[in-house]
Structure 1
Amino acid sequence: MQVVHASWWIDVHAPSPALALWAEDSATTLTPGRRGRPTGSSPHPYAVDQPALLALLGVTSAVGAPDAVELRLPTRGAAPLPSPELVRDDDPPSRGAVRPGRWRVPALVIGPERAHAVLSQLDPVAVTCGASVQHLLDLLAFADDLVGRGRFLPTVRVEGPYAVWRPVLTGPDTAWARALAAALPPSLLAATVDQDPLPLWSTAVDDLVDGAVRAAVGSRRPTLGRRGTATTRAWWAALTGPARPFVADEGAVTELAASLERWQRDALAGPVRAFFRLNEPPPDTDDDRWQLRFGLQTSDEQSLVAEAEDVWRAAGALPGLGRTVSEPQETFLAELGKAARLYPALDGALRTARPEALALDAQGAHGFLRDAAPTLATAGFGVQLPGWWSRPAARVGLKVTATPRAQPGAVGTAGRVGLGAIADFRYDVAIGDDTLTVDELSALAELKSPLVRLRGQWVELDPRRWEAALRMAGRRGELSVAELVRLGLGLDTEDGELPVTAVAAEGWLGDLLAGQAPERLEAGSAPADFQGTLRPYQLRGLSWLDFLGRVGIGGVLADDMGLGKTVQLLAWLAGSAGASATEGDGRSAVGPTLLICPMSLVGNWQREAERFTPTLRVHVHHGAERARGDAFAAAVAATDLVITTYAIAARDAAALRRIDWARVVVDEAQAIKNAATRQATAIRSIPARVRIAVTGTPVENRLADLWSILEFANPGLLGSAATFKKRYAEPIERHGDDEAAARLRRFTGPFVLRRLKTDRSIITELPEKLEMEVLTNLTAEQASLYQAVVDDMLAKIDASDGIERRGLVLATMTKLKQVCNHPAHFLRDGSPLPGRSGKLERLDEIVAEVLEAGERALLFTQYAEFGALLRSHLAGRFGREVLYLHGGVTKSAREAMVARFQSEGAWAPPLFVLSLRAGGTGLTLTAANHVVHVDRWWNPAVEDQATDRAFRIGQRRAVQVRKLVSAGTVEEKIAAMINSKRGLAARIVGTGESWLTELSTDDLADLLRLEAGAVVE
């Protein structure tokens, strides 16, 4: 494995810090000769050499120069610590203190003018990128977005001189830049000792924007011809060409820089800026004048404002700004003068001795709201508008009132309704949700004012759309439910058309469009066939699923990890609309349900169904011997729930499409978040009357993912991916459009159920410690090794007795548990880990959810060597630091690890692997609220002691405990024995596993036998 890193390298010959790219290689052997303590700077033992580096990057040396760069890197003893993405087995994690060390690495040094080109060529899929390179790729995307929106200006650096483009950051762009700067990885500064990082970071953004502009210009390089001075022409040629330097007289360059600064003042805000607040006419008076008030506002803190009256009275310090401004009156007038170039109406106010406000009629106020305010805000001035202006209620639009023709019955007849159901509709002219009467329409038609007070609130009457509104009033027709939703979202509305501001409906459609969320539903009771207890929020989730099922509409169950999505789904399947309704011949009256999940969860779903819904008939469709053709159709006909995996569903999509499925459920729905993949396309092609997606990751934060998942659940609901991106993804994610976000939440709310553990109503319903047994399956390789161990050892055990027999039994148990963990753990051959263990695959999924939620986890194993494998695998898989505590760790190093894990901040390690003996007692690790027992000790008291590292005084969150068990193996059989007699566990299992040695050979054979269904590959 090779990982690419980046550092900023200070080159005294360059106008900006150069970019140094280098790489580490996991295959490099740290020889004993390299373990001597380095003096000065030493060659980095893991670094990739320059030819291999160029080949890895896939770039040519023409865009950079191979060089050696000195870095300050974390060092323990005489060796540098590998990066978190490249944890190595020969790294001694517990010996010696960590200190900064000087190391020389072969690097590709790239000048600032080439950084954009090189980073644009990097493929993060083909190349494993460290945190530093990932951050630069984020900066690259930011720079390209700024250039795409024209947020840049030309300037000149006098020292050189150099012609450069620089970004213009205002509004949401400033907030985004701050967020990126706060996430600056320390590794990016490894070559810049004692340098202030923020100026370097800002220069890097400038350089990437400059490169993005030059890339956009390409060969289309405009020239000034004979216009301008010789200096101006040289500057412009360098500005639009491939190289930044140009030749000119120093005095002329200084004059050019001053001229550019004066020209750009409108776009480049100083420490304070002009501020404008539009006030409405006072209510209940005849005064219809609007007031545009002036003031000064700090550029970096928008809540600090000094009114014009305070500015004129100020002698230096300004009330409201919390700072002293030199010559505040002159600054104020200069700012108003700059704003007047963009909003000429200010000229009248500037003719007064002390301008404080500008009076506007309704026409002028509307012009300011519609045109001047956005222009001033974009140019960097502070603008505050009345709150109603940004709300849809302030717009005249259309209200759609719909009545569905069909009413839902049982799910079996739900095909009559759903998103394709036809509803009769009527258009009314409305302001927000309020329909206007005929008299109001007539009165408003006679008004010439674009702003009027109606029913106690100010609204806009856009003359361009008023005639269209009058034409649409009273129009009737028919629409599908999906078309109504898209109308509400504006996805079926062309730019410039009259918008739909409200959608109302009757019956089940009204419940849906009103946002039929759990809090609006009455929590029912668990079905009689469900063997368990549902918590109140789970009952509300069950009611939500039942509602969607009755109306034939899909949804996304996106409850937070640990809130019981599986039991809610099983209760729904077992309900009156599920498996309990059967025909006389035993077939389901509703039809079968297809459940698609990752391979590692097949056994878990199968056994949870046996536990909570024993009457539910389950068929697993997987493996080389799975039913096909008529045999598969017959199996489905006699089944309520068919469980399969994503890989098999994609492979057998043609056969699955021939079945009349009542429901298709996809678990861990992030597997279809990329809509363009073959797997996602195949699964979307499987027809069903109701589709449910289940995921524990937040879908509202990644809108392209939300579109993909809802496209599975309700095809066509959100329109095309391109339209959705234009109307919602880009405005919300990049520009912080609150109105678009609120509209999207309103119209997708009925289809997405998301509850968080941090919600008060949920936390009060959760136990302090939630324990769950997670069943995983073996891979074919694991099953083969498992059976070989059983066959070999049983023969030896049967031929032995006494101490020898007891030793063989314990050795067998150890080997089988190692096989269940991973073949590489059992074989000790250093072979790769991914794709060979069902337990490791499930652990990866759990860790991904923990990290996605920003939480931390303790991972316990009773085998020190497996702990080392886990540490290396997880660090490389997730690119995060993983601590590892085992019996060889010294007391001081142990204390240092605990302190680091318990610390706060973004750099605190989120994962802590512990051997059960070394970390099971005596530690307080309350920073974690997740505990995973990767392999079982089979002594409940020992496991509880380990769990109590997190579940103890000082823990403020509910602790989730997962115990991984390989299905169909000795692990599951002993776990079932312990669970059934937990109160007698101490007498049954004692303090370890010695009780196993007293079993007869027949009992051992039965205990160790690999059960059918253990393997899902």
Structure 2
Amino acid sequence: MLVVHGGWVPGADRQGQLALWAEDPALPLTTGSRAQQRAHPFAVPAESLLTALTESSDDVGDALAPATTGTQTLQLPGTARGPLPSPDTGAEPATRGVRLGAWNVPVLLLPGDSALTALSALSDPDPAGSWLAGSSLRYLCVLAGHACDLARRGRLLPQLVTEAGVATARWRPVLTGADAATHRDFATAMPAVVRATGGGVGPTLRDAVEALVDGAARTVMPERILIGHRAGAKAPLPDRWIAALTADDPALPGARPGEERDLRAALDEWLRAAHEANGPIRVSFRLLEPAPETDMWGLEFALQSAEDPSLYLPAAEVWAGARFPGLPPRPDETLLAGLGRAVRLFRLLHVALHDQEPAAMELDTSEAHEFLQQAAPLLQAAGFGVQLPAWAGRKAVGLKLTTRSKSRSGGSKAMADSGFGLDELVDFRLDLVIGEAAVTAEELAELARLKVPLVRVRGQWVELDDRQLRAALKAVGKRREGELTAGEVLQQVVDGGEEDLPLVEVDADGMLGDLLSGQAAERLTPVPTPPTFQGILRPYQERGLSWLHFLSRLGLGGILADDMGLGKTAQTLSLLLAERADTDSTSESSVPDFLQPPEIAPTLLICPMSLVSNWHKEAAKFAPSLRVYVHHGGTRQRGDDFDAAVRSADLVVTTYGTAVRDLEALRGVHWGRVVCDEAQAIKNSGTRQAQAVRAVPARSRLALTGTPVENHLAELWSIMDFCNPGLLGPAKRFRRRFQEPIEVRQDEDAAAALKRATGPFVLRRLKTDKTIISDLPEKNEMKVWCTLTPEQATLYQAVVEDMMEAISGSEGIQRRGNVLAAMTKLKQVCNHPAHLLKDGSRLPARSGKLARLEELAEEIIEDGDKALVFTQYSEWGSLLQPYLAAHLDRPVLWLHGGLSKAKRDDLVERFQNDDEPMLFLLSLKAAGTGLNLTAANHVVHFDRWWNPAVENQATDRAFRIGQSRNVQVRKFICTGTLEEKIDAMIERKKALASSVVGTGEDWITDLNTDQLRELFALDPAAVR
């Protein structure tokens, strides 16, 4: 199968070109001349790629008609032997000797004008399965959708640019307010391959967005903006320019220099004015509902921090002289200037500007509706702050679904206390609701007749939409009550009604109501701990077992998303034991057919390689009666021997990598269940391992993950589509209906609908919730501030001066590499001079961090405790381990990625079971997940990865079930260095921390040179 990638090649015309290339890791490594060796060995010939893509779909074929073949030199990661296959192929990543290298790749090139059509056609997966989109191509497809959204919302302006020496009419995006934040998110998330031609993040993203927005504008704009005769070649330039904005050819040859200069100046001023509101302090507007018995609305003015919206100062207080940090010297002038700009977007503001000190104004209901519908979106898009009532923007008219269980013959309930069948019939009724109140058909008709856009309905203000009212009146005549199966009710809830008439409330009784309300785990009749389970399940774990058991009986899949350390492994093993106990207890009972246990087929459990031993040992400990077969490694069974091993097993444990390699063998087995542990491994639906896991047939599926959504909602769709294929519809529909409204526009209605659709299939408990688990000790986190020694400070300053010179003199991918190299060197200096110099020199008395670790380690050992010490650098850990062992005269274990599985297991076993106080030094990448190290009650992050999720996962090696003592977590930070400054950035943006730094430190490469100089600069207070 081909993995198709996308990149953006900058061009002199500011549009650039879309480059498509593919790899097939099955191709052999090539040898030969030096020129031949620089050819990417896995790259597919451009002609073969074009054939594979065009044969998959007529739409793709048409979109790629303008494509030409060529060769591009890409900077790609590799080793001395050759380039690495991309992660999208499912290949295991290399960890040693990886560096960027130039590789010649055959590509398909499309002009920027044709890129939008091509990406739209390539956004749907290949139905034939001959190719799949790599992360870079998927990124560009999402970027194309964003460009279309900008064009649809009018977030663009026409411009006059010079391309190849010719004046050209183009559309350019206006990125202010929320759109500017989205643009920064796209820069942060850009895969390296997209900019591998050397354009750098900023130039590449700008070229791509501008080309895609221009293409989107020409798609959504009418054929001719102005009706009338087309401007001829000798017509004035402004007339020709207007025509060229929607013409196939945007070029304006022969433009007279004076005309071109004047038109360009006016258009540049227009674009500059559009960006004026995008500053650190913005004017904000707050719409206030009328007081009871009145119809006059209030519109309050204020100044607000764009960085921290909680810093909010009403205009009345501005005029009274109040201030908050960051305000300009004359905040009253800022307020007046902002109101002056805003009056162009909301004409009624001129009334308030008649006052010398404008602070607020009154609006009648029609004016308030104009502000809601027209002015508020324009103001918000232009960078102004806007605060509206909670109900604003929501669909006021919706449907309420009510279901009631039917009685069986003999008067018993169809839904017994222990479960129900999806084919069971229930009575249903659909009611129309406005806001939170049900309305009759007569009331609805009266509201439609009055044509009032804002009305009070039973004391609550709602905004009525003509399309919704028409849809509601039409729905009145449809079937609104009768019988449905429980399965049909479930599908209606997931579908969520119609676009203009959403399902806003569900009222169901019995177990169907428990399932749909998300309370099934709390209210189902508990399944007791199986007698063959060697241990005691906590109450919340028994509830989890009951929920899993319930879904399994129905053939439904679920996501057990309990926090790390809450015992997902124990709950899963108890489920397998409970099912086997069911075969004995119900074999001769009168339990209804739909509650009879399914045939007990083996369960396939797929997990990361690091967790194979953990599952094997946990099964032996908690469920020794289960027959476990580990299918992994070079000695794993094949052919008939594999079939025999599966038949004699209750649980088969394998890895994601093995699942890809042995897919055909796994597909040939009738599995009772497929379980994915650390299911974030399949969060990217286009990867080979995600597709392989989906292809394994099973009666039911279960995903185990503490992080069902790490960065984007598409990850939730991917995991849900594994658990219940097709339930959430195709990815494209999910993106349009949920992902874009929630992520781009923070649509609360869409978020509520998604929660209602996925809630029945996701069980999420947090270990910090005392109602879940009250006996887990506390986790106390603290920052440990360390100073630099004079030697460290001297080295730090030298690195800054040397690297800033290299950064300021480089561009594109070279600049990015220099920034990351500077980051690494500065962090190494903060660790220890010997870490940077790599000269084998002595360690004592040369590092503030090491001195603090020595003091802390001595205290821990003296108290008889154990500690985990995490570092992201294996070479530093190798220096630190023998030094600490000699200094403390105690064992210091060292776990890193170069150890064999057996050695890792031995180290974990020793640390957990040896009573002697000791330290466990761990590489963050090798040991950040999958290990149970509750013998430690101290965790030290010696150097930071600046990714809160990664640090929390590492901390949770100790802070999990089985921990009986409070856990002390210390994060070492060198004062006055980039470590302190990045920590401050994260603290200021904690709500956005996962998206801003979700990929580690790559986001820092997007800072300009002045920002980097400020970030890297050494504070005098750093030295002791």
TM-score range normalised by the length of the shorter chain: 0.5 to 0.7
Aligned to 2:399: 398
Aligned to 1:178: 184
Taking a change above 3 Å as real, the CA distance of residues 278 and 469 of structure 1, as seen in their structure-2 partners, is farther
1:468 aligns with 2:473: yes
1:289 aligns with 2:296: yes
C-alpha distance in 2 between matches for 1:582 and 1:733: 48
Taking a change above 3 Å as real, the CA distance of residues 135 and 923 of structure 1, as seen in their structure-2 partners, is farther
**Residue 338 of structure 1, CA deviation:** 1.0
**Residue 290 of structure 1, CA deviation:** 1.1
1:234-281 C-alpha deviation (Å, 9 max, x unpaired): 646776566768543443223213433565678544356664321111
State how 1:242-281 maps to structure 2 within 5 Å.
Answer: 246-261=253-268, 267-271=274-278, 275-281=284-290
Taking a change above 3 Å as real, the CA distance of residues 584 and 758 of structure 1, as seen in their structure-2 partners, is closer
> What amino acid sits opposite 1:494 in the alignment?
E
C-alpha distance in 2 between matches for 1:112 and 1:57: 16
**Residue 51 of structure 1, CA deviation:** 15
2:391 to 379, 385, 388: 388
Partners of 1:428 and 1:472 within 8 A in 2: no
Secondary structure, counterpart of 2:638 in structure 1: coil
**Residue 554 of structure 1, CA deviation:** 3.3
Aligned to 1:573: 576
Partners of 2:7 and 2:20 within 8 A in 1: yes
2:763 to 743, 753, 760: 753
2:940 to 926, 949, 955: 955
C-alpha distance in 2 between matches for 1:474 and 1:140: 40
C-alpha distance in 2 between matches for 1:75 and 1:528: 53
**Residue 940 of structure 1, CA deviation:** 5.6
State how 1:564-603 maps to structure 2 within 5 Å.
Answer: 564-575=567-578, 578-579=581-582, 581=584, 591-598=599-606
1:430-476 C-alpha deviation (Å, 9 max, x unpaired): 45555579999999899886545566643446676397399489953
Secondary structure, counterpart of 1:479 in structure 2: strand
Aligned to 2:639: 624
Taking a change above 3 Å as real, the CA distance of residues 113 and 242 of structure 1, as seen in their structure-2 partners, is farther
Secondary structure, counterpart of 2:940 in structure 1: coil
C-alpha distance in 1 between matches for 2:224 and 2:824: 47
Aligned to 2:171: 165
**Residue 592 of structure 1, CA deviation:** 0.8
C-alpha distance in 2 between matches for 1:450 and 1:361: 12
Aligned to 2:742: 732
State how 1:806-885 maps to structure 2 within 5 Å.
Answer: none
Taking a change above 3 Å as real, the CA distance of residues 897 and 702 of structure 1, as seen in their structure-2 partners, is farther
Tell me whether 81-90 or 944-953 shows the greater mean CA deviation.
81-90
Aligned to 2:337: 331
C-alpha distance in 1 between matches for 2:191 and 2:649: 53
Partners of 1:16 and 1:112 within 8 A in 2: no
1:275-311 C-alpha deviation (Å, 9 max, x unpaired): 432111124xx43311233456677765666655578
C-alpha distance in 2 between matches for 1:480 and 1:212: 47
Taking a change above 3 Å as real, the CA distance of residues 219 and 510 of structure 1, as seen in their structure-2 partners, is closer
State how 1:23-38 maps to structure 2 within 5 Å.
Answer: none
1:853-896 C-alpha deviation (Å, 9 max, x unpaired): xxxxxxxxxxxxxxxxxxxxxxxxxx99999999x975259999
Aligned to 1:362: 365
Aligned to 2:900: 934
In the superposition, the TM-score normalised over structure 2's length comes to: 0.58
Aligned to 1:792: none
**Residue 727 of structure 1, CA deviation:** 1.6
Partners of 2:8 and 2:16 within 8 A in 1: no
Tell me whether 112-121 or 143-152 shows the greater mean CA deviation.
112-121
Aligned to 1:154: 158
Tell me whether 197-206 or 702-711 shows the greater mean CA deviation.
197-206
Unaligned runs of 5+ in 2: 51-63, 590-595, 632-636, 780-820, 829-833, 854-869, 886-890, 912-917, 924-935, 942-951, 958-1024
**Residue 745 of structure 1, CA deviation:** 1.8
Partners of 1:581 and 1:589 within 8 A in 2: no
Taking a change above 3 Å as real, the CA distance of residues 592 and 51 of structure 1, as seen in their structure-2 partners, is closer
> What amino acid sits opposite 1:256 in the alignment?
L
State how 1:894-913 maps to structure 2 within 5 Å.
Answer: none
Secondary structure, counterpart of 1:502 in structure 2: strand
1:711-767 C-alpha deviation (Å, 9 max, x unpaired): 454456434555433321332244432331233123312211245678788898679
Secondary structure, counterpart of 2:401 in structure 1: strand
> What amino acid sits opposite 2:624 in the alignment?
P
> What amino acid sits opposite 2:461 in the alignment?
W
C-alpha distance in 2 between matches for 1:48 and 1:142: 34
> What amino acid sits opposite 1:592 in the alignment?
I
2:484 to 476, 479, 490: 479
RMSD: 7.2
Secondary structure, counterpart of 2:171 in structure 1: strand
C-alpha distance in 2 between matches for 1:673 and 1:337: 46
C-alpha distance in 1 between matches for 2:102 and 2:668: 59
State how 1:681-830 maps to structure 2 within 5 Å.
Answer: 688=699, 691-695=701-705, 698-699=708-709, 702-711=712-721, 713-714=723-724, 717-719=727-729, 721-755=731-765
Taking a change above 3 Å as real, the CA distance of residues 358 and 650 of structure 1, as seen in their structure-2 partners, is same
Secondary structure, counterpart of 1:575 in structure 2: helix
Partners of 1:119 and 1:140 within 8 A in 2: no
2:499 to 472, 475, 495: 495
1:226 to 219, 226, 231: 231
Partners of 1:280 and 1:386 within 8 A in 2: yes
Taking a change above 3 Å as real, the CA distance of residues 960 and 259 of structure 1, as seen in their structure-2 partners, is closer
Aligned to 1:526: 529
Taking a change above 3 Å as real, the CA distance of residues 265 and 942 of structure 1, as seen in their structure-2 partners, is closer
Equivalent residue pairs, number: 800
Partners of 2:895 and 2:907 within 8 A in 1: no
Partners of 2:22 and 2:49 within 8 A in 1: no
Partners of 1:515 and 1:747 within 8 A in 2: no
> What amino acid sits opposite 1:289 in the alignment?
M
Unaligned runs of 5+ in 1: 32-42, 770-878, 904-908, 963-1017
> What amino acid sits opposite 2:902 in the alignment?
R
State how 1:7-156 maps to structure 2 within 5 Å.
Answer: 142-143=146-147, 146-147=150-151, 151-156=155-160
Taking a change above 3 Å as real, the CA distance of residues 602 and 74 of structure 1, as seen in their structure-2 partners, is closer
**Residue 385 of structure 1, CA deviation:** 0.9
C-alpha distance in 2 between matches for 1:398 and 1:642: 46
Taking a change above 3 Å as real, the CA distance of residues 949 and 703 of structure 1, as seen in their structure-2 partners, is closer
C-alpha distance in 2 between matches for 1:133 and 1:443: 51
Partners of 1:271 and 1:300 within 8 A in 2: no
% same residue: 35
Larger radius of gyration: 1
C-alpha distance in 1 between matches for 2:3 and 2:367: 63
> What amino acid sits opposite 1:506 in the alignment?
D
C-alpha distance in 2 between matches for 1:51 and 1:552: 41
> What amino acid sits opposite 1:389 in the alignment?
A
Partners of 1:234 and 1:247 within 8 A in 2: no
State how 1:622-701 maps to structure 2 within 5 Å.
Answer: 623-625=638-640, 651=664, 665=675, 674=685, 688=699, 691-695=701-705, 698-699=708-709
Tell me whether 696-705 or 111-120 shows the greater mean CA deviation.
111-120
Aligned to 1:849: none
C-alpha distance in 2 between matches for 1:199 and 1:654: 45
**Residue 503 of structure 1, CA deviation:** 0.6
